[in-house]
């Protein structure tokens, strides 16, 4: 597994797909990086020489915002939205969908596991029902 900018990329995959394991690089940008560094996209990541890894690292550091810097910028943008009390910031704060999706149904990824409101379940419900019937 070659290590590029502190990330272990899978060695058995083609280079253009292996680079997508770096946060901030998709397939299009990975192909761009490979073209700029003059490498063969069909080459497996394990077959890279040290010189080629250095070329890739140089192109990535010089021209792209990836990994830690990008994560920091995204987190900073979210903190800014929250601090100025924008609508999007309030949705982030509450853990709800930010981009206008419906929440009456769906939205389980953002809202978490469904919680029943108002209904008592389990032993407490049975014992409460027995007390109420007496």
| HSE-up of residue 53 (Cα within 13 Å, Cβ side) | 18
What's 33's domain CATH number? 1.10.8.50
Q: Is the pTM of this model over 0.95?
A: no
Note whether 78 and 36 are same-domain residues: no
Q: How many domains does the chain fold into?
A: 2
- Express each pLDDT in 79-132 by its tens digit: 999 999 999 999 999 999 999 888 888 888 888 898 888 776 667 766 766 666
Is residue 31 scored above 90 in pLDDT?
yes
Is residue 78 scored above 90 in pLDDT?
yes
Domain boundaries, position 87: 68-134
Confidence of residue 70 (pLDDT cuts 50, 70, 90): very high
> Phi and psi dihedrals of 18, rounded to 5?
-65, -35
| Cα(105)–Cα(33) distance, integer angstroms | 41
């Amino acid at each position: 597994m070659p290590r590029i900018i502190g990330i272990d990329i899978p060695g058995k995959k083609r280079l253009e797909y292996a680079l997508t394991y770096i946060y901030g690089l998709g397939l299009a940008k990975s192909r761009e990086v490979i073209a700029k560094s003059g490498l063969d996209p069909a080459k497996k990541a394990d077959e890279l020489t040290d010189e080629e890894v250095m070329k890739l690292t140089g192109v990535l550091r010089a021209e792209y915002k990836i990994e830690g810097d990008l994560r920091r910028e995204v987190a900073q943008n979210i903190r800014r939205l929250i601090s100025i009390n924008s609508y999007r910031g309030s949705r982030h704060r509450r853990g709800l969908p930010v981009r206008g999706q419906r929440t009456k149904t769906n939205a389980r990824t953002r809202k978490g596991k469904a919680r029943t409101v108002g209904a008592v379940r389990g032993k407490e419900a049975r014992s409460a029902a027995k007390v109420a019937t007496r």
